[in-house]
Every structure is written in structure tokens, then in C-alpha cells.
Structure 1
């Protein structure tokens, strides 16, 4: 009897073949926890130890900065940080609090080329901003300077933005804003040093700004610390005529919420 093709064998043959292939891959490459690398039943996922430590940010929170409140302060209540120093962007949201597990995920994506983390992280980010995305949204990754991107070979923010755009069937725009001068890494800098470091570091492509004027922009990055980078980009986007400007990150630093930024 001749061998059957997948189509001839019936509608479920392709599914059986896919499941068999997946089992073979799992046999040779056992699925691992995305954060710590320990064995898990199914990929992509976190192990039983890491998952409970990933602290999702949910309501109640500051509607401007997205900082979590310990209890509900009532409609429109702002955080002390948003009142004392209103940001240059309209709102910020993050999926999780920056702690040890979040740091492991960010580091493995950013420095160890674990690109398989991007759809997992972007999925959590999508949940955090689901009520903010509309048909006009542009996902714009925080740009790297060309020398740093050449050295790192990829921009982790662009990976996250690409998966977010795919998730929402929205547009990603990498050419709208660029970093016109190299800056020091923000790691280890104070809030004032961070702000000075990115001052006048970004520029908007004037032609794209005309084409995209008035559109909602959601800046995408891995971690929000002081907001100085997001603020610097938001200022040039606002001057260029863009509409509402939001910031969406995988993690954000919260005082008392976990580790200091690495």
C-alpha cells in the first residue's frame, strides 16, 4: 500500500504530525523556565518557583505613571510622583514590577540573545495596555544609537514592539525617532544624571512626522526607571505634532518593589 500524504490520511493527520514533531523537539531540547532555566512541562513558561515571584501591576494604580497603589484612592487619584513632577508623556504602563525574576527575563533577552522571550514578555505588556491601544496606535521602540545597535546586533525594544504590533494588528514605526548622539548607559546613574545624559539626544524624522502627525504613539522599552529617556523622546515627539504619547514597558522600578536597576 502506498504511503499516505497528510491530506490523504485525514484532516487530523497534520495535527498529529505537529504534535509528534513537538514531542521530538521537547525530547531533544527539554523546555526550560524562561527566567532561571530549570525544567518545565511546556514552553514558553516559567517554573513553579519563578512564576509566583513575577509581580503583575494591576489596578488600583496612578492613571498617569502607572505606579501601583496599595489600596484604591478613588477615581482620578494621582501618585505623589505624578503631582510633584508631571511627565512629558500622557501615561505610562508596565506589565510587572522590576524584581529579581523580571531582571532575569530582561537580561536574558537583552544580553543573552534569548529572543524567544520577546513574545512572552510582549503578551504580558499587551495585557497591561489593552485599554489604551486603538486603531490609530503607532508602536515606537526606544531607539539605540547605531554604534550600540551594531555592537549588540539587535534592539530588544524593537523586538517587543514588533510582537505588540502583531498582537494588536497595529503599526510599528522604527524610523520616526532616532538617537542622534551616543549616550552613556543609564545603569548606575542618578535621576539628574539620567536626565542630563539623554538631553537633546533624540530627533524626529521630519518627513515621517508630517505623514504621521496626530497619531497616538506608544513608546516601547524593556524597563522604566526614572522616565528620563521616555520623557526626552516624548518632548521631541510632541514638538513634531504627534498625538497622545504613552509609554509601555515590560517592567518598572517601584520604590520598595524589588531590586535596584541593574
Structure 2
């Protein structure tokens, strides 16, 4: 009863707001009906490897054209939302605007989307920021998500396992091959944590997967350092037409 009363008092003074548009909602960490209906949640049917959604169910084990042409280093990638105009505002509030109240809700969504891989995982690892970018932003959104998912899924977390060794230029204007060149050699495993990685099944956590170049390079580094397998779990992913 005291907890419920305290919640009523807090909601009266600071009513919960939609994680996307900021309008009042009934529950903290939720979206208003209009924003919820605008989100495109991803799921099956999808590429068995990268999770790219398919319009039609082509059966089990089918991969997309990109994965058929060049198999990623990671085993599976799954995401919650299509990264588009509707979800972009939601994710950028987390990434750049110090709006961290959505972390728990996002982590719950991600834990559901990645349930199969999390059930098999030994370790969660966050895609790192370069130290100067981390200093400017003050937090790594991928690490916050990994920590929250780890608590929910009861999987160990090592957000500092990967280190970004150089500050890569922005990739927004780059194509797939240019992105791959941009991040090549940009990550390493923290030497003090190498024993924690040996033989572990890793789930790599990030906020958005665009071309997949960053998570693929991270997977390469983790596998080379001794991980048994690497899967990828993100909040959003870009879905290119055609």
C-alpha cells in the first residue's frame, strides 16, 4: 500500500510521459497510442542470420541476399524496431538528449526480441564509444541497455569488454563497403578481461544496426579473442528497400 500511494503522489506531481512525444501516458516507460501505432516492430518472417524482415514466409533457414553474398561474422542479429522517422526520435532521445527514462522499457522489448539468443548466452557485451565521445556524452547508451537486459535475462554483463581504439568519422553518408573500411581495426578486447571471454557465447548489444559493419567488426574481434559465438541484439535497425 505505501508503495502504491507513493506512486500516486509521484504521478500527480510528475505525470508519466510518452517516451517518444512527451505527452501524458498512463504508465511510466510507455508510449502513447499514437506513437505506439507509428512504430514498426520487427519479427518473423525474417532472415535467419541478420533478421532482415521478409514480406513473405520463405520457410526456415532462409537468408537474405546480402547474407548469402557475404556471411556475417556474427551468428544471428535481431532488433526490436524498424529505424525510421517514427522510431528515430525515440532512439535519438536516448542517444543524445540525456533521456534515460526509457532504458528499462527498451531493455524489456529487446529481451523479448532476443529471447532465443539470450537463453543460450553466457555474456552480454556492449558496442563501445571512443573515450572522447564517451567523455562528451557522459554515458554509453549500449552499455546502459546491456546492463538492464542482463538483469532481466539473468545473463552476466561485461560492458567494458570491447574498447574503441580510434575515433571513427561519422558514417551516416557512407555505403556498406565504406562503413566496413571505416571501422576496420577500430576495436580490441580489453586484455584484462580476456579470460572472461574464452569459450563464451556472447550477445553483442547496440542501439541501432545500420549496415551491420560495426557489429560485424566487433564480432570478428570477439571471435578472434576466443568467444565461442557472437549474436547481435539492437533496439533499432535500418531496413533498406530492394
Return the TM-score normalized by structure 2. 0.95
Deviations 1:137-193 (A, max 9, x none): 211000011111001000000000001100111111023210111111222322222
CA drift of 1:44 comes to 1.6
2:16 aligns with 31
Could you tell me which runs of 5 or more consecutive residues in structure 1 were left unpaired when the two chains were aligned: 1-14, 258-262
1:251 aligns with 2:236: yes
Summarize the Cα distance change of 1:208–1:122 in structure 2 as closer, same or farther, 3 Å threshold.
same
2:171 aligns with 186
CA drift of 1:81 comes to 1.6
Report if the CA contact (8 A) 1:209-1:242 is conserved.
no
Structure in which a larger fraction of residues adopt helix:
2
1:59 aligns with 2:44: yes
2:186 and 2:169 mapped to 1: Cα distance? Answer: 11
2:72 aligns with 87
* Paired residue total: 242
1:40 aligns with 2:25: yes
Correspondent of 1:216 among 201, 213, 216: 201
Larger radius of gyration: 1
Which of structure 1's runs of 4+ aligned residues deviate more than 3 A?
Answer: none
1:143 aligns with 2:128: yes
Report if the CA contact (8 A) 1:66-1:94 is conserved.
yes
2:29 and 2:13 mapped to 1: Cα distance? Answer: 16
2:141 aligns with 156
1:104 aligns with 89
Return the TM-score normalized by structure 1. 0.88
